Amino acid sequence: MTTLEDIRRFLALKRLAVVGVSRLGNDFTRTLFRELRQRGYDLVPVNPAVTEVDGIPCAARIEDISPPVEGALLLTSPGVTDQVLEGCLQSGIRHVWLYRAAGAGAVSPAAIGFCESHGIAVVGGECPFMFLPQTGWLHRAHGFCRKLFHSYPPTTTTC
């Protein structure tokens, strides 16, 4: 189970791979990419079908990134997620965020299990926008609704 502490730890990282950034400029993944850049994150886009994102060279695979990143934000489908997680493990990445909006997103029980069994800290199934300081009203409203329905991440894990 993802906790607020897991989320805060991930968001405290400064150099991140953003895997699955779309080639389409108006796609949600690009909006999130731009927001994180504006907030000072050093981002490396990863997509084998794209050579650059907003003027930043795009890596084809996470294993191609140099110098290394501290964490990876996966905006991928579950089928691609499994391959990317193998690359994260091989590259020494110990912090992963598996994004999900509607549908499964990057999250699957197998992906969570892989991270846990290999000592990779994982944020599973959350949207980063909801946890960024001074985020837009829509994302704050989403967080408020999740709190009302008791589906907001807890501060810590209870045993």
Nearest to 77 by CA among 99, 96, 52, 58: 99
Asked whether the predicted pLDDT for residue 155 surpasses 90, the reply is no
Predicted pLDDT at 103: 63
Q: Give yes or no for residue 157 having a pLDDT over 90.
A: no
- C-alpha to C-alpha distances, 76 to 19, 49, 125, 141, 151, nearest whole angstrom: 7, 13, 12, 25, 23
Average pLDDT, the chain: 87
Q: What would the two tokens of residue 24 be?
A: 């389409």
Q: What is the pLDDT of residue 129?
A: 80
Beta pairing partners, 126: 99
Q: Cα(106)–Cα(74) distance, rounded to whole angstroms?
A: 6
Q: Which two tokens stand for residue 9?
A: 């730890």
- For tokens 């599973």, name the residue: 124
Residue 74: what pLDDT? 96
Q: What is the mean pLDDT of residues 88-97?
A: 96
Least confident of 20-29, 54-63, 80-89: 20-29
The rounded percent of the chain whose pLDDT value lies above 90 is: 60
Helix H or strand E segment including 74: strand 71-74
Spatial separation of the C-alpha atoms in residues 52 and 45, rounded to whole Å: 8
Q: Do residues 88 and 62 lie in contact, with contact meaning Cβ atoms separated by under 8 Å?
A: yes
Domains, the chain, with CATH or none: 4-148 (3.40.50.720)
Residue 143 has pLDDT above 90, yes or no: no
Look at residues 103, 133, 99, 78 and name the one whose alpha carbon lies nearest to residue 17.
99
**Of 6, 33, 20, nearest in space to 129 by CA:** 33
pLDDT computed for residue 3 by the predictor:
84
